[in-house]
């Protein structure tokens, strides 16, 4: 791997959003009975992370000099 691999604002933001989605989904799965609405909200948040990364990359936030 290159030095600084993944250490960009775009990558950090996308990973943070994906982690938030996984946490929301995990909390939904821990509920008895499972909160399906909350689970789908978590899935949507996690899926949004990749397009967010692409948009931030196109805006120039995918370089380590920020």
Q: pTM score, two decimals?
A: 0.84
Is residue 28 in a domain?
yes
Predicted local confidence at residue 7, as pLDDT: 84
Domain assignment present for residue 4? The answer is no
pLDDT value at position 24? 98
- Answer yes or no: is 66 within a domain: no
pLDDT of residue 28: 96
Is 64 contained in some domain?
Answer: no
Q: Is 27 helix (H, G, I), strand (E, B) or coil?
A: helix
**What pLDDT is attached to residue 31?**
95
Range of the domain at 14: 9-58
What does each of the 66 residues of the chain score in pLDDT, given as a tens digit? Answer: 456 667 899 999 999 999 999 999 999 999 999 999 999 999 999 999 999 999 999 999 987 664
> How many distinct structural domains can be found in the chain?
1
Give the residue from 23, 54, 60, 52 showing the smallest Cα distance to 39: 23
């Amino acid at each position: 791997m290159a030095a600084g691999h993944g250490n960009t604002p775009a990558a950090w933001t996308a990973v943070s959003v994906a982690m938030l989605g996984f946490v929301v989904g995990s909390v939904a799965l821990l509920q008895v009975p499972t909160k399906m609405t909350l689970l789908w909200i978590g899935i949507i948040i996690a899926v949004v992370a990749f397009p967010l990364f692409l948009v931030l990359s196109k805006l120039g936030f995918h370089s380590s000099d920020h």
